[in-house]
Amino acid sequence: MRRWNGWGLDSIDVQPRPATEDFLRQAIGASERPRDATLAEAASAIGASRLPAHPLVEVDPRVRLLHARGQSFPDWIDLRSGRVPTTPDGVAFPTQRAQVAELLSYAAEAGARVIPYGGGTSVVGHINPLAGDPPVLTIALGHLASLDALDEESHLATFGAGVSGPALEAQLRAHGYTLGHFPQSFEHSTLGGWIATRSSGQQSIRYGRIEDLFVGGHLETPSGALDLPCFPASAAGPDLREFVLGSEGRLGIITDAVVRVSQLPEEERFRAFFLPSWEVGSRLVRELAQARLGLSMVRLSNPIETRTQLQLAGHPTLAKVLGGVLRLRGLDDRRCMLVVGITGSKRHVHQVERALRWEVLAAGGVAAPKAIAAAWRRGRFRNAYLRNALWERGYGIDTVETALPWARVTSAMNHIEDAAKSALEAEGERSLVFTHLSHVYPVGSSVYTTMVFRLASDPDATRERWSRLKEAVSQAIVLAGGTISHQHGVGADHRPYLLTEKGKLGIAAIEGVLSALDPEGRMNPGKLC
Ligand SMILES: Cc1cc2nc3c(=O)[nH]c(=O)nc-3n(C[C@H](O)[C@H](O)[C@H](O)COP(=O)(O)OP(=O)(O)OC[C@H]3O[C@@H](n4cnc5c(N)ncnc54)[C@H](O)[C@@H]3O)c2cc1C
């Protein structure tokens, strides 16, 4: 079963080592676990549904509660405290495309708003009903999950859009293919959600972001059905797929998606290295991206993230010994850890690894023990579970991400980190802040910053603390000229910052497209713009 008020399956429990708590105590102070409400307590506060009865619509308070929030920090506060002021009035689980169209007609007749729901892993408030909304119908797509067609000649696969990451990969693997889209939320997020939020997977350098993989499909909208035919390329005016990518449930419901798939790679290796400093490390990853060396993944941690990662990995002795060895080889506390993935034919993997080692050595770096890259690989989806364990020790974690041209990457990182560190100073609180670059492009990079801070005993005080942090870092991103989101989308939380990025005319153009397909503003209003 999925945790109702945290991340992942409740059968998976990832606990930090004792040294982690000491580390956090020293960095930001001791903390205590706030009281969590039970599911029964939270469900008992939910009012009666305002929707008329329909055989496909469930109105049980628990079902409504389980579809009321995603995974953003304020979502966690609501769920953990049991104070969930807005829930959908009903949740439908269509099993066929025709039922989606039927549910949209039912919602129109009932004057209801509609929220499409994939895996509910949004971290920016995408799927939350808003205060003051008329009745809300959430349409959960999880039963539209089959591989409906595989064109092996063209490498195209057609899926029901509610398919989750593992189910999608398992169906493709059976035929020797992969989509290669692995966001950290892979276990629970869905193909439709990836498309609707412009998601990016960990190995996007090899396979591409979801916009490179989404080739066509079918949408049910309040104005009717929209088909997106598949072409290898087209010069026939603006590409309608671009309207659907990042549409955040506001245009309609993606029922089927055709995606570009790849044959399973012969080999996949992950390797870790240490570079002498951020300046050296960021220059190296830029040069690797610009030379298109053929890596599938790159993650360069700054010095604080490098230290924190080794501590959180729970190897204090290993960290100490490793620190000593690295110092002997001339790498002091400014060192940065680089983890890379190399994927492809055996020959490609061998050649790229050899070339990479040479580049790292030339930059004054050293290869890390293989156990470090192996630990990253093991934890690539599991580390998200640490959020549960740290919350239960009184610590909150949130992340922000942006992307900018290379010339501005380091200064933006410094501004974002400074904003996060100083945001809580007025109330005498500290935050632990660290950053990595994880999706690198020839022209720039994403910048991904993590913030750890203490929870207050009162949920409202925790919410205020988070709001101060979130506003400070979002302003810093906007001032640095970065996009408000490289991969998580806009939702409700980033909406105030979109105008700066798109401009008035840009927002008007987006609104024009939305109102063409959804003239009454029924689909997930209050999100995106
Ligand atoms: C621990 C964790 C790690 C994460 N790591 C990453 C990462 O590495 N990369 C990344 O890109 N994101 C990441 N995310 C964010 C999140 O997983 C993505 O935004 C994901 O794409 C959301 O997919 P979902 O199926 O859960 O969508 P949901 O959260 O259910 O919905 C998100 C939005 O998409 C809309 N939507 C969903 N399905 C459809 C559909 N079929 N038709 C129309 N609209 C639809 C919803 O209305 C909503 O607006 C992470 C989140 C968590 C909690």
Distance 491 CA to ligand 1 centre (A): 10
Distance 428 CA to ligand 1 centre (A): 35
Residue ID of nearest Cα to ligand 1 atom 49: 248
Edge-to-edge strands, sheet with 253-260? 147-151, 156-160, 253-260, 214-221, 224-228
Distance 199 CA to ligand 1 centre (A): 7
pLDDT at 184 over 70: yes
Which ligand 1 atom minimizes the distance to the CA of 70?
Answer: 29
Residue type, 489: G
pLDDT in tens, 265-310: 999 999 999 999 999 999 999 999 999 889 999 999 999 999 998 8
Task: Classify domain 267-380 at the CATH class level.
Answer: alpha beta
Which ligand 1 atom minimizes the distance to the CA of 119?
Answer: 26
What's the CA gap between 79 and 92, in Å, rounded? 21
* Average pLDDT of span 313-327: 78
* Average pLDDT of span 43-69: 98
Distance 139 CA to ligand 1 centre (A): 15
The helix (H) or strand (E) run that includes residue 206 is: helix 204-207
Mutate to test the pocket of ligand 1, among 66, 115, 185 (most ligand atoms within 8 A of CB): 185
* Average pLDDT of span 482-499: 98
Asked whether 255 and 218 are in contact (CB, 8 A), the reply is yes
Mutate to test the pocket of ligand 1, among 66, 122, 485 (most ligand atoms within 8 A of CB): 122
**What are 280's two structure tokens?**
């050296």
Distance 76 CA to ligand 1 centre (A): 16
433 - beta bridge partners? 451
pLDDT at 53 over 90: yes
Contacts of 165 (CB under 8 A, 6+ apart): 181, 182, 183, 185, 186, 187, 188, 189, 190
Asked whether 306 and 337 are in contact (CB, 8 A), the reply is yes
Mutate to test the pocket of ligand 1, among 117, 182, 186, 437 (most ligand atoms within 8 A of CB): 117
In the chain, where does the domain assigned CATH 3.30.465.10 lie?
148-263
In the chain, where does the domain assigned CATH 3.30.43.10 lie?
27-140
* Average pLDDT of span 226-252: 97
* Average pLDDT of span 212-222: 98
Which ligand 1 atom minimizes the distance to the CA of 254?
Answer: 42
Reference 171, options 147, 149, 150; nearest CA is 147
pLDDT at 323: 85
Residues with CB under 6 A from ligand 1: 7, 70-71, 115-123, 126-127, 141, 161, 183-185, 189-190, 192-194, 196-197, 199-200, 248-249, 253-254, 384, 487-489, 524, 527
* Average pLDDT of span 376-397: 95
Residue ID of nearest Cα to ligand 1 atom 23: 193
Reference 402, options 376, 424, 435; nearest CA is 435
Q: What is the mean pLDDT of the chain?
A: 96
Which ligand 1 atom minimizes the distance to the CA of 387?
Answer: 1
pLDDT at 322: 84
pLDDT at 314: 62
Contacts of 224 (CB under 8 A, 6+ apart): none
Give the CATH number of domain 148-263.
Answer: 3.30.465.10
pLDDT in tens, 443-480: 999 999 999 999 999 999 999 999 999 999 999 999 99
Distance 196 CA to ligand 1 centre (A): 7
pLDDT at 317: 74
pLDDT at 514: 98
Give the CATH number of domain 27-140.
Answer: 3.30.43.10
Asked whether 76 and 99 are in contact (CB, 8 A), the reply is no
**What are 156's two structure tokens?**
């195209």
Distance 17 CA to ligand 1 centre (A): 30
Contacts of 301 (CB under 8 A, 6+ apart): 309, 336, 337, 338, 339, 434, 435, 436
What's the CA gap between 140 and 349, in Å, rounded? 40
Which residue has tokens 């409700």? Answer: 492
pLDDT at 60 over 90: yes
In the chain, where does the domain assigned CATH 3.30.70.3450 lie?
267-380
Distance 118 CA to ligand 1 centre (A): 7
Distance 124 CA to ligand 1 centre (A): 9
Distance 244 CA to ligand 1 centre (A): 14
Distance 190 CA to ligand 1 centre (A): 7
Which ligand 1 atom minimizes the distance to the CA of 489?
Answer: 19
Residue ID of nearest Cα to ligand 1 atom 27: 193
* Average pLDDT of span 120-144: 97
